[in-house]
Structure 1
Amino acid sequence: MNYYGQVIDNNFKNSFLKEALMHPSFDLPYRGREIYVKEDYTYKMDVSGDFSCFKGSEKIYFKNILTYALSFHGGKIIDKHFD
């Protein structure tokens, strides 16, 4: 997987991002859950595709203010067309 994100607002808390990433769902284990909320922080992750080819984004909000945004994509690295 390849990803790139950036902090947008000073209310971003790295500790909240780490906590959100520790709770992936079984069905979508790419980053965190689709939604994770704790106190005034909300983590949202959207993804499309499957393990062979996927792309998505995650965002963190503090009191409905966007504080962090990240895009990711990936897939299988083994290709049966190459020996």
Structure 2
Amino acid sequence: MAEEREELSVVTNEVGSPTYAPDLARAIARLLQYPLYGTYHLVNEGSCSRYEFAQMILELASKSRFPLHPAETYERAT
């Protein structure tokens, strides 16, 4: 999105727990070793807002100077 837009507004009041893909892959591989069924919920520790997550993504992509604006869910147009 940073390549497509001049700035971005991201909500601060929605919080989640991003899951590291290699951790998820290892857990799935482990589960597949057993005859299990059902629904499983797997996440890493910790949490962050969507805004904090976007900040980290931009930082890791060396785009930390990209204009990122905090917003509340009700402020965002759908």
Higher RCO, Cα 8 Å, sep 6+? 2
Q: Same fold (TM over 0.5)?
A: no
TM-score where L is the length of structure 2 = 0.23
Greater C-alpha Rg: 2
Structure with greater proportional strand content: 1
Structure with greater proportional helix content: 2
